[in-house]
Amino acid sequence: MLWVKICGLSTPEAVEAAVESGADAVGFVLAPGSPRTVGAALAARLVAAARDAAGRAGREVETVAVVRDQTLEEVAALAREAGVDTVQLHGDEPDATADALREAGLRVIRALSAGEYTRRTATGWSSPDRLLLDAAVPGSGERFSEDELGAAPSGFWALAGGLSPQNVGEAVAALRPGGVDVSSGVESSRGVKDLGLIRAFIQAARTVL
């Protein structure tokens, strides 16, 4: 089944809508400079809301802290305070950062643009972590550019960048990722999640064959 992540959540209501509609993962932006940024204390409350909603539904949900070009010490402290399961590295973090986070018991998602992924793999780079291939400007609502992608990853990878309830089915059918990740595509305005769009996105993703 397609893995579905709703990212950039900042209210308990949005978290509950995502979990109750069947999201596999919910993400919280702990990197500065985004309209979706939340502090670790609020993220901890949102993590608790996600787990409560998942418990009521009789299943589990993955909680993800999204960081970007922060030090390992800062990332580790934020993840610990927020109580997340997973850290999503969305910048130029070295592989040593991912290694250290895994050693601390956290899962890791490595987010790259299609162009950056192609450049890295051309040098023989590979990652033991799940990959998320995003648009060149994350969170902008721009479409992922498959023209920059030489070849899709052989292991699990998730697609992000410009997805919405209207186009997620077409995108998945064309690229066959293992998962999808959406943020701006389920917003009524920049940084403000729309509960109806969250539900519609998950429903549309779940109907892809």
pLDDT at 137: 65
Specify the pLDDT at position 115: 84
What is the reported pTM? 0.94
pLDDT at residue 145 in the model: 65
Out of 92, 134, 181, 194, the active site residue is 134
Kindly report the three-state secondary structure assignment for every residue of the chain.
CCEEEECCCCCHHHHHHHHHCCCCEEEEECCCCCCCECCHHHHHHHHHHHHHHHHHHCCCCEEEEEECCCCHHHHHHHHHHHCCCEEEECCCCCHHHHHHHHHCCCEEEEEEEHHHHHHHHHCCCCCCCEEEEECCCCCCCCCCCHHHCCCCCCCCEEEECCCCCCCHHHHHHHHCCCEEEECHHHEEECCEECHHHHHHHHHHHHCCC
Low-confidence ranges of the chain (pLDDT < 70): 136-142, 144-148, 209
pLDDT of amino acid 198 = 98
pLDDT at 140: 58
Q: What pLDDT does residue 151 have?
A: 73
Q: Nearest to residue 84, comparing CAs of 72, 95, 75, 96?
A: 75
pLDDT of residue 114: 84
Give the pLDDT confidence of 120-135 residue by residue, as tens digits: 888 888 889 999 998 7
Active site residue 134: yes
* Per-residue confidence (pLDDT) for residue 34, from 0 to 100: 92
